[in-house]
Amino acid sequence: MRLAPNRYHLAVAMREEASDLPPDARILIACSGGPDSLALARAAADAEMRAHAIVVDHNLQSESRAVADAAADQCRQMGLPAEVVTVTVDKSGVGPEAAARGARYSALDQAAAESDSAAVMLGHTADDQSESVLLGLVRGSGARSLAGIPRRRGHYRRPFLSITRATIEASLAEAGVTAWEDPHNQDHAYLRSRVRTKVLPFLTEQLGPGVAAGLRRTGALSRADADLLDGWADREFTALVQAGFSVAPLTELPEAIRWRVLRRFLIHSGCPGSNLTMEHVMSTDTLITDWHGQGPLMLPGSVVVRRICDTLNAEPVASE
């Protein structure tokens, strides 16, 4: 069967993303019933891949099971085996989005292991990438924050990361597939929803149609820079750990590398990465660049950092 243009484009993207895998490799499709993931399932079927779909029911809405069952049925109608997995979302200590994402990825990891899948395909699009880069810019956490969503990480792959949501929706129209629209995508209580429906459209209206593409270019360039700098910092950190973390070699490093090395040092010493801010890193940096005998620093995780002669020392304080 000759595929319509947008369906063909997506099928080619799927084949290219799996081109390094054995021809008989088993592929897991993460499906929610939304447009992006149904297009992913449709493209896997069009590409005649050995694929099966997993629909994760987060059980956060009253109709979630019905939505999940309908999505699984749609995948089966495309010719893909499909199953629904229900998860429990533990929202203690994190926001609802992060909690749901954690539960979803745990379920996908388990499903991939049980089915011996070589890769898990996710439906993130170019629009998702633009949103992520913009959110990273607001966080102000440097090049890695601006790098956006990686195309690959572990067994996860995102074949549509360079394809716009408009193309995705056009491909579904060509295939006669009706997707479920998650009401959370229009709920402005969620930051990403506000970025998608308010912030990016406003920026596009005010600055021109190239905003989204410009953000994606920024993400790609930032990822290349971050990969290079992080690799350099990893090598320096390893050498410093072996040498006892002497201050003298740290003073010779460029700031961009020294700050990365210090962050690794603090996490290695027991500081939780999620609680460690740039302010903590900069405070530690003063023990190297502005040393005048100052006292120790107390950092997250009850880690005490002090300079002892020419050595930087960090260790957790035992709780009483």
> What's the CATH number of domain 243-316, 1.10.10, 3.30.465, 3.30.200, 3.60.21?
3.30.465
Cα(65)–Cα(283) distance, integer angstroms: 49
Please give the model's pTM, rounded to 2 decimal places: 0.90
Write the secondary structure of the chain as one string of H (helix), E (strand) and C (coil): CCCCHHHHHHHHHHHHHCCCCCCCCCEEEEECCCHHHHHHHHHHHHCCCCEEEEEEECCCCCCHHHHHHHHHHHHHHCCCCEEEEECCCCCCCCCHHHHHHHHHHHHHHHHHHHHCCCEEECCCCHHHHHHHHHHHHHHCCCHHHHCCCCCEECCEECCCCCCCHHHHHHHHHHHCCCCCCCHHHHCCCCHHHHHHHHHHHHHHHHHCCCHHHHHHHHHHHHHHHHHHHHHHHHHHHHHHHHCCCEHHHHHCCCHHHHHHHHHHHHHHCCCCHHHCCHHHHHHHHHHHHCCCCCCCEEECCCEEEEEECCEEEEEECCCC
pLDDT tens, position by position, for the chain (320 residues)?
Answer: 799 999 999 999 999 999 999 999 999 999 999 999 999 999 999 999 999 999 999 887 888 899 999 999 999 999 999 999 999 888 776 777 788 889 999 999 999 999 999 999 999 999 999 999 999 999 888 899 999 999 999 999 999 999 999 999 999 999 999 999 887 778 888 888 999 999 999 999 999 999 999 999 999 999 999 999 999 999 999 999 998 999 999 999 999 999 999 999 999 999 999 899 999 999 999 999 999 999 999 999 999 999 999 999 999 987 65
109-112's contacts with Cβ under 8 Å and 24+ in sequence apart are 111/28, 111/54, 111/85, 112/28, 112/155
Would you kindly state where each structural domain of the chain is located, as residue ranges?
Answer: 5-211, 243-316
CATH number for the domain formed by residue range(s) 5-211: 3.40.50.620
pLDDT of residue 319: 60
- pLDDT, tens only, 129-172: 999 999 999 988 889 999 999 999 999 999 999 999 999 999 99
